[in-house]
Each structure stands twice: as C-alpha cells, then as structure tokens.
C-alpha cells in the first residue's frame, strides 16, 4: 500500500470527526482496567470481601469530581460506633510514582496508603532490578506520613515457582 492510499483511507475514516479536550492520561482512573494478574486478583478479592455482609466493610463504585472511576470504602469498627471512609484508585500517578492501588482517607486525618503488587518479577528480578529506586520512592512517602505496602501474590500462591527475597 502506498502512502497516498493509506492517507486516503484515513481521511475516509476520520472525515467529520470532532476532537474535544479531555483529561490527561495520568488523571484517568483505571479502576475497571488492570495491568496485571496481581491487580485483578487484588481487586476481585477486595470486591468479594466487600460484598460479604459479614465483613466490616462496605464498598461502592463511584466517580470523583473529575469523573474518574473510583471505589469508596467504609470500614466499621467491631463495636459498630466508628466508621472510616477511604477512596481507592488504581494506577494513580502521585508524586513521581504509580502505585497499583492508592487509598486516601476522606473522613479524618489525611492518610494515604500506596500498595505495590508487582513484587519480585517487576522490581527485584535480574531483568528488572529497581530496588534502589523503589526504596527511594517509598521512603519519600514514609517521610510524608504515608504508608506503603508491597506484595507479590504470585510468589505467595506458588512458593516453589520462584525464589523470593527474605526480609528481616
């Protein structure tokens, strides 16, 4: 196919299209999209847990003020008197990092929890050794008073399939 033929095809496909301004890609929540098996497993477990009437959590789908899809979580204390309200976004770029799951407390002291699910395969293997950079990013969150968590659910589910790092 020649360049002229390709341009002619594109012109036919795009004829009459209007372009509108939208959100930047780092502002778009991927709450219904996942980048890995680990994210899917985490989201499915969280949703399953929240749908069980015997658990102390209620989870609802929603949109933030910019229309980004989120999850709202309400945790009730054992005595039923206290409820904490959190918002969850997947793949939300914040302060130079992109945690797989980002929780923000909405009803009390400002708190953030960043969860990194990729673990060993994408951050500590010979092919992807990002330990030093990851440590710097997480330390910056801790200094700001945030909590970071990481996990490799695949390693935990199949312990003999992969050698994992041992921590003190």
**What are the DSSP calls for 120-161, one per residue?**
HHHHBSSS-B-HHHHHHHHHHHHHTT-EEEE--HHHHHSTTT
User: Would 74 be classed as within a structural domain?
Assistant: yes
Backbone phi, psi, residue 58, to 5°: -120, 135
pLDDT at 12 (0 to 100): 83
State the pLDDT confidence band at 116, using cuts at 50, 70 and 90. confident
Q: What is the pTM of this model?
A: 0.59
Task: Tell me: pLDDT of 74 over 70.
Answer: yes
Overall average pLDDT of the 118-124 stretch: 67
Question: Would residue 166 count as lying in a domain?
Answer: no
From 70-74, 120-124, 157-161, the region with the lowest mean pLDDT: 157-161
In a domain, 148, yes or no: yes
The whole-chain average pLDDT of the chain stands at: 75
Q: CA 57, CA 51: separation in Å to the nearest integer?
A: 8
| Predicted pLDDT of residue 99 | 80
Rounded to an integer, what is the distance from CA 46 to the centroid of its chain? 12
Structural domain count of the chain: 1
pLDDT at 142: 67
Whether residue 13 is contained in a domain is answered as no
- The per-residue pLDDT for range 26-49, each reduced to its tens digit, is 666 655 566 677 778 888 888 888
Predicted confidence (pLDDT) at residue 85 exceeds the cutoff of 90: yes
145 pLDDT exceeds 60? yes
Q: Please tell me the distance from the alpha carbon of residue 36 to that of residue 118, in angstroms, as a whole number.
A: 8
Residue 97 covered by a domain: yes
If you average pLDDT over residues 82-103, what whole number do you get?
A: 83
154 pLDDT more than 60? no
Q: For residue 105, what pLDDT band results from cuts at 50, 70 and 90?
A: very high
pLDDT at 69: 73
Domain that holds residue 68: 23-157
Spatial separation of the C-alpha atoms in residues 103 and 111, rounded to whole Å: 8
């Amino acid at each position: 196919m020649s360049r002229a033929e390709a341009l002619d095809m594109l012109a036919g496909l795009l004829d009459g299209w209007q372009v509108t301004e939208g959100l930047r890609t780092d502002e778009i929540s991927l709450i219904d999209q996942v980048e890995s098996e680990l994210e899917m497993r985490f989201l499915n477990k969280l949703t399953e847990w929240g749908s069980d009437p015997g658990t102390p959590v209620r989870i609802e789908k929603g949109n933030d003020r910019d229309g980004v899809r989120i999850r709202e979580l309400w945790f009730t204390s054992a005595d039923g008197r206290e409820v904490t309200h959190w918002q969850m976004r997947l793949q939300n770029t914040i302060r130079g990092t992109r945690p797989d799951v980002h929780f923000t407390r909405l009803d009390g002291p400002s708190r953030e929890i960043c969860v990194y699910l990729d673990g060993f395969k994408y951050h500590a293997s010979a092919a992807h050794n990002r330990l030093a950079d990851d440590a710097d990013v997480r330390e910056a969150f801790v200094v700001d008073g945030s909590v970071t968590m990481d996990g490799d659910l695949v390693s935990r589910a199949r312990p003999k399939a992969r050698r994992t790092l041992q921590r003190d």
